[in-house]
Amino acid sequence: MNSLTRLFSPIQIGSVELKNRLVMAPMATGWANHDGTISEKLSSYLEARARGGVGLIITEVATVDGNYPYVPATVGLWDDKQIPGIRKLTDVIHSHGAKIIPQISHPGPESVSLLFGDTQPVGPSQMLCHSNKQNCRELTVEEIETIVGQFAEAARRAREGGYDGLELHAAHSYMLLGSFISPLRNRRTDTYGGSIEGRLKLPLQVIERIRAKVGNDFPIFLRISGDELYAGGRDIRETQYIAPILARAGISAFDISAGSYPQMSWRIVPPSGTPFGINTPYSRAVKEVVDIPVMAVGRINEPRFAEDILARSEADLIGMGRALLADPELPNKAMEGKFDDIAPCTGCGVGCSRAQQDERNITCVINPAVGRESKLQLNTTPTPKRVLIIGAGPGGLETARVAALRGHQVILCDKQNKVGGQLNLASVPPMKQELAKWVQYLQIQIKKAGVDLRLNTEVTPDNIDQFKPDVVVIATGGEAFVPGFAVAGGKSLPTAHDVLAGNVTIQAGNVIVLGGGVVGCEVADFLANRGDNQLIGRTDVTIITGKEEVGLKLVREIRAMTMQRLREKGVHIINKAKVIAILEDGVRIQRNGQQEDITGADAIILARGVKSVDKLSLAIRDKVSEVYVIGDAKEPREAMEAIAEGSKVARDI
């Protein structure tokens, strides 16, 4: 019996009733057309979440001035020509019983305007814009008045386009309104700065002008940091003071986040390992001082936990972003009590946050269909085949799941005694345990789909005929790369994989980790301890890397936290160093043209990446007509590529 009575109860926001308390939080995609209109790709992506049962969708930033885009392909509300496309989108969303509002903003310091001409980003004060590495100039009072009018006109277009309200972005000392509110970025000495009232002047003017343009029956959400969590920034006490002022001015609901940009960027998009419901202390504090609905966001990716937040009166609405990337059907599945069928968000940031940072299309490790909802449909095959999948890592599991759902007869073999492949190791380091949810989810799904799982079963060229496959998918993954170092005494060195798997136990002492990539940083984090807890003992770790910096492939938010922990644990990093030889108790390196011996090590661990394991594809091509190689077996990468390739292969079979 479903006990999510609060989560799936309706709620009134001003004049608009939502069918439930689940809100899709705004996430930038960059999928608008280049004139700011809504593209088919963006519409299909949002429609999938509306069809999935969410009560309200808050779209990504829609900019009020076309000269100041937020992303290269930014959504716009600066031109009446954009209204017909908006109307088409809102009609589609409404047809599924959901409501939709845009998050409107002037990007201000975060504008990428200089990429498209000579227009310089603007803000409350002259400053360096960390997101685009540009200087922004201080707005004049006359320019501020113009921007206030642009916000009002954008609100009018939103209403005429059929949106059910709007959200103003004033959080994280970010974009124009957020930077005006925050003392971290507002250094003005005129009436728009200095005091709390001065910093509030612009958002209050914007709210007043919007209300004059669209009336009082058009809900206005305000996204704001409950606490900026940085010295000199706004704290929760000040937020409690200004929240009633903003509510009286015409705000209909608050969207409470936390952190400031760039100082506390990991708190804005909190990654795996951070507390669930990380911002609920702030949403609860705001809820204590206002009588309008308050939404909590940040690390709420499980519906039963969301219900608990509502039950504890920590919020009235639940904002989910990345969880709805992972599974757009999360609301419907939760309402039906199908919790095991919800594709889990782990907060990894690999497909979403890092993609934005790398200026690539966002996706999701566990859901390759993000942004391709209309193309990646699961269609039943007219010609069922016998499909043998070798390797039950993430790629093999996803291939098995999709192929079985399409109607193929699927056999999944792995020579190990459990599924998961390298995810079993990836979930061991600190703050990474949530990755195990992918393994658990996929194992449940292949069982429900009828996959014939055979563990402790090694497939070879000699025994493959007994499986009688029409198709073979090789997903045998990778293994630790062992470089050809000259090792004193001819001994072999343990790998990071050995340590994380528990095959090699490292006692307290001095440890050298060779390699400063993701795995090198994670195994150092796993082992290092200052020894304050005498039951654990002291382990001093030194990372040696040839790169200028370590952990560069970590998601930005996760890297910030990882590096902080490494510093706190006293991990020593030697960069730009080439390892020449392995000594009895250390290594010989070369850097800056000089040789140097690093000695006194009790253990030396190899963390030099992964090499592909594929011993079958060439050997069986004369036995099986259809052979595919995916994931690390094809080329060492990440779980995201393995799952995406497995999903594609299973759809192509």
Is the pLDDT at 557 greater than 50, yes or no? yes
Which residues have C-beta within 8 Å of that of residue 142, sequence separation ≥ 6? none
Is the pLDDT at 382 greater than 60, yes or no? yes
* CA 144 – CA 468 distance, rounded (Å): 72
DSSP 8-state class, residue 572: E
Which residues have C-beta within 8 Å of that of residue 245, sequence separation ≥ 6? 200, 204
* CA 138 – CA 576 distance, rounded (Å): 41
With a pLDDT cut of 70, the percent of the chain lying above it is 99
Name the pLDDT band for 533 (thresholds 50, 70, 90): confident
Supply the pLDDT for residue 376: 82
Tokens 């496309």 belong to which residue?
85
* CA 98 – CA 83 distance, rounded (Å): 19
Supply the pLDDT for residue 168: 98
Name the pLDDT band for 1 (thresholds 50, 70, 90): very low
Name the pLDDT band for 374 (thresholds 50, 70, 90): confident
Is the pLDDT at 465 greater than 60, yes or no? yes
Half-sphere exposure of 562 (CA within 13 A, CB side): 27
Least reliable range by pLDDT among 98-107, 202-211, 302-311, 486-495: 486-495
Q: Report cis status (omega within 30 of 0) of the bond before 262.
A: yes
Mean pLDDT score of the chain: 95
Active-site residue 174, yes or no?
yes
Name the pLDDT band for 359 (thresholds 50, 70, 90): confident
Chain segment 109-155, per-residue pLDDT in tens: 999 888 888 889 999 999 877 666 778 999 999 999 999 999 999 99
Tokens 């705000």 belong to which residue?
251
Tell which residue, 149, 161, 125, has the closest CA to residue 43. 161
Chain segment 563-581, per-residue pLDDT in tens: 999 999 999 999 999 999 9
Q: In Å, how far from its chain's centre is CA 604?
A: 33
* CA 363 – CA 113 distance, rounded (Å): 25
Q: Which two tokens stand for residue 173?
A: 């000392």
Least reliable range by pLDDT among 90-99, 171-180, 236-245, 505-514: 505-514
Supply the pLDDT for residue 2: 63
Supply the pLDDT for residue 117: 80
Supply the pLDDT for residue 132: 64
Q: What is the pTM of this model?
A: 0.95
Q: What is the mean pLDDT of residues 454-474?
A: 97
Chain segment 422-449, per-residue pLDDT in tens: 999 999 999 999 999 999 999 999 999 9
Supply the pLDDT for residue 489: 66
* CA 512 – CA 131 distance, rounded (Å): 35
Marked catalytic residue, from 45, 68, 174, 282: 174
Name the pLDDT band for 484 (thresholds 50, 70, 90): confident
Q: What is the mean pLDDT of residues 99-105?
A: 98
Phi, psi values for residue 606, rounded to 5°: -85, 125
DSSP 8-state class, residue 225: E
